[in-house]
Structure 1
């Protein structure tokens, strides 16, 4: 998960940094650091990503979007 994908996922779900942090059981500063592109433990990033996926986010890699860049989308029924 790229930092921008975390931001896009939060926006798609309509949640803030604090809400995501609470759901993922990390500090809000940890989410902010991730979104700034700082290096975090891989396990922490995986936990945040899994939390977003549990709420319906699908992460798209390079080449899976119309413009070829990375992105996110919501599972059907989540929009």
Structure 2
């Protein structure tokens, strides 16, 4: 079962909420720093392999981020209570 994709904008916003650098995300997700940098250089849904996108999303969720789907107001992120 795959995890729904999120956008690079959501990933960047999530990193900002956590005060994480790209290196922090790379270490938490197991995705290489060059891959994180490459993915964040392009707007829109996370590109690349599905496993990579799932690892990034999972790392951010474990750290306390909740991804908000598009619901008329646009997709977003917030921290868990």
The Cα of 1:32 is off from its aligned counterpart by 1.6
The higher relative CO (CA closer than 8 Å, separation ≥ 6) is in 2
Query: Structure 1: which 5+ runs fail to align?
Result: none
Deviation at 1:30, TM superposition (A): 1.2
Q: What CA distance in whole angstroms lies between the structure 1 residues aligned with 2:25 and 2:47? A: 18
- C-alpha RMSD over aligned residues: 1.4
Deviating beyond 6 angstroms after TM superposition, the runs of 4 or more aligned structure 1 residues are none
State how 1:47-66 maps to structure 2 within 5 Å: 47-63=55-71
Count, aligned residues: 73
| Matching of residue 36 in structure 1 with residue 44 in structure 2 | no
- Residue of structure 2 in register with 1:16 after alignment: 21
* Residue 46, structure 1, aligned to residue 54, structure 2: yes
TM-score normalised to structure 2 length: 0.82
Secondary structure, in 3 states, of the residue corresponding to 2:66?
A: strand
TM-score by length of 1: 0.84
Gapped regions of structure 2 (runs ≥ 5) = 1-5
